[in-house]
Structure 1
Amino acid sequence: MPDSDQQEKSLPEFDPDHCETYTASCHCGTVQYYVILSPPLPKWKVVSCNCSICSRNGYLLVYPERSQLHMKSGEEALKEYSFGKERVLHKFCGQ
């Protein structure tokens, strides 16, 4: 029987007829992107990360498929940071 935590981590099934586009940017506006979520955001499981960056900034996260994330500008300005066991790569605006 699958662990209930494992079931909660699976991504929602993408439905092109039931999706919404969300635009976002870094604070200074250099990095701009949009993400297409299906179902729309209110139906997603939101995660609170306990790393120092997320805790300090109060970030809440969703994890869409990479194919649902589209960079508009500023990808060259992104810097990288990994913590702990360095399994997760955190990208942020270096400006």
Structure 2
Amino acid sequence: MEPKRQVNTYRGSCHCQAVQFEIDTDFPELTTCDCSICSRKNALMVKVHESSMRILAGEDALTAYQFHTHTATHYFCKVCGIYPFHRKRVTPDHFGVNVFCLEGFDQDGIPARATVGKGMA
């Protein structure tokens, strides 16, 4: 069994820095998803509870996109178009955060799991 990782705070942003946020996580795993939107944006995500994420700047620079059941909400920067995070469909009190938007992120040693989103009804 691998030792438990320490919970740390990580800062993130979109490309133009209009949207800035931070999350608290120990990176238990990373996920990919094969649904129609996630496969196109090709993000690698970490799941965090809404209480572990804070938008520091640029909430007004975010635009939201919903489709299918209109439960998940995918957020994009209106200025640069980058996807930093989304509110999850199955667990709407959690966000999927695009780890490539995090400062100094290194995925070495963090397990990655592929999720099946296209089969969700």
Normalised TM-score (structure 1): 0.68
Residues 1:76 and 2:49 are matched in the alignment: no
d(CA) in 1 for partners of 2:11, 2:37: 22
Runs of 5+ consecutive residues of structure 2 not aligned to the other structure: 1-5, 80-121
Unpaired stretches in structure 1, ≥5 consecutive residues = 1-17
Deviation of the 1:55 alpha carbon:
1.8
Q: Quick check: which has more Rg, 1 or 2? A: 1
Question: Could you say which structure has the higher strand fraction?
Answer: 2
Structure 2 Cα separation of the partners of residues 54 and 29 of structure 1: 22
Partner Cα separation in structure 2 for residue 30 and residue 51 of structure 1 = 27
Superposition map of 1:38-49 within 5 A:
40-41=26-27, 44-49=28-33
**One-letter code aligned to 1:34:** E
Q: How many residues align?
A: 74
SS in 2 for 1:76: helix
Q: Does 1:50 align with 2:34?
A: yes
Partner in structure 1 of residue 77 of structure 2? 93
Relative to its length, the structure with more helix (as a share) is 1
Q: Which has the higher contact order (CA 8 A, sep 6+)?
A: 2
Query: Percent identical across equivalent pairs?
Result: 36
DSSP 3-state at the match of 1:47: strand
Conserved 8 A contact 1:54-1:60: no
